[in-house]
Structures are given as C-alpha cells and as structure tokens.
Structure 1
Amino acid sequence: MISGALGAAIVATLAILYGRALFTPPSEIDGEPLVAGAARVLYVIDGDTLQIEQQQPTGVVRRRVRLIGIDTPELGRTDAPLKAATADQPFAREAAELLRQLTAEREVRLELDRRRRDRYGRSLAYLYVDKRLVQEELLRRGLAVVDAFPGDSASMAKRLEIAEQDARKHQRGQWQKQ
C-alpha cells in the first residue's frame, strides 16, 4: 500500500514528465542532431541565440541555435525566481534587434563546424541570410566580439576577426568613443 504523501509525489512526478513530453518537441527530447542546410527562424532569444525549425528526413526539428564564433552583450534577466534581476549590458538590445531584422520571415542557411554543441547543450552554427554571414554583420556593426575556440574553422575565425577589426577601426557600436 502506498502512503498518501508518497502517492501524491508519484502523481506529481508523472504529471511533470507527461507535461514535458506534451510541450517539448520530440527532437529536443531525443537529441536529434541539427543538420547543415535550410531552416526557418521561429524567434530570436538574444543577439547570438535563436530558435529555429528545420525539416529533416525524420520530421520537423526545433532547435535552440547559438551563433558560433561570436558573443554579443547579454540581455538582462528578470525571470529567474531565485536569482536577482540583471540589467541589459550595453548594446544587448541592439544586437538582438539586428538579429531579428536580418532573419525576420526569411529562410536561413545553417553551416556547421566541428564543435556541434556548447556547454549549455545548444546547437552551434554559422548562420547565413541570402549570402550574408550573420555573425559577420553583427561584428561589423560593433554589436559582437569574436569568440573563437580551438578546433573551429581557422578561415572562418580569420573572417570574423577582420569584421571585428573593421568595427573597432570605425568605432561602431560598442567600440564608439565615450
């Protein structure tokens, strides 16, 4: 016989697991890998992270994608229940807005590198709109910094470094003189 408290705990656990299964796309549960190619942006999370949807042979996959090779200023957080609210870092909103503008209602193309996931489990990709590399555009406008890792494409890292140097030289975005 199960006690009342234990029974309630079991029911609550099952409800949570069932709810997660209902509201989490299957591809995010079973870890189906992202593939290079066409995708549709569902929404922008911040200046270097977005949610995409991609048609694959096994069905539609939804993934949180982090733009590989760059880092943008962080948006403030107010939603963490046990953490203090944080303010936006300078140029965080501008970076997120540019990413929205570049990807709104457009098909994008994902290109992968050796590193496929970051430490938070997000898929990593270079993102193209038409033939424009989105990371390069964020860097040229001074809204990102290069964040290359050993093993990433050396030619891509060089391309991104040139874009950041251009923004610094012309004092764009976060490189403006105060």
Structure 2
Amino acid sequence: MITYKTPEDFKKMEAAGKVVSNIHYEIYDKTKAGMTLIDLDDIAKNIIEKSNVKASFLGYHDYPAHICASPNDVIVHGIPNDYVVNEGDIISIDVGVIFEGYHADAAFSFGVGEITEEEKNLLSKTKHALHEGIKLVKDGQKLGTIGNKIDKIAKKNNFGNVMRTMLVMGLD
C-alpha cells in the first residue's frame, strides 16, 4: 500500500537525495588511479557523518560499507575492498542514505581517466536510456512503463535485457 506524502515528507526525501547527489559528485571528482575502493567508501563516510544522515547499506544484513563499489565487470553491489583503481576503469557507485525515516538511493557509473570509445559509448547510451526513463516519470505512471522504456533502449543498443537482469524498485 502506498501512503500519501505531505510537503514536509517531500522536503525530507529531497534532503536525503541531495546527500546522495553530493556523495556522487565528490566521489566522481576525487577518484584517481591509485586509490582503493575503501578510499571511495571513506569519501562517502565523511559526507554521511557531516550531513546528519545514516548510511542505508552499512550494517544491513551485516554489509560492511557505506557504499557499493563495482569496478569493471562487477555488475552491482560490489563491496569496497583494497582493489586499486586503475586508469581506464569503469566504476559504478551505489549510495543510499536515510534522513528522518526517508531513504534516498541512487547509483552511477563513470570512467577513471582515459577510457575507450566503446566504454564512452556504453556510458553515454546508458545515461541516455536513464534520461528517457526519467522523462516518463509523472504522477500515476507505472514503474513498469518506465523500466520498459529503458529496457527497449538497452536492447536497441545490444546491452542485454535489463528487465530480466535487474528489477525496478519503488519505495513506500
């Protein structure tokens, strides 16, 4: 059952989302070859502590980190470890925080330094698919409709079957 939210609820959701966004930008700006995935988790930890929010992932089913960090062929939910980031890596970062009972959770992927044209194409086309899905977001829209749009773009670009591989999540 979905409960209706008040303007105050939306402000709390937005505040949580801003922290997630800030973490994304900081990790993107600071990630350099030679850092470890634990270093990236530390960036998130510092922002989380300064922002008066709670890390959604830390401690959830004994998860040991503030973020998920997935380099290269690690699909999702990689645990930050001593892997050393290299020039040309593709890193996916998933961040979740809780602010006054409201979760915000988002992932993004980026290249470290110079990446191949194929990798640039992958990142560009997947970002395009996301933005096309976001364009469909409106009151009353079904999540499946949004996911289907993203899936169609992924298939068109030979990126596989997103709907069978990943799931669309909603928060109540």
- Larger helix fraction of residues: 2
**TM-score relative to the length of structure 2:** 0.30
**TM-score relative to the length of structure 1:** 0.29
- Larger strand fraction of residues: 1
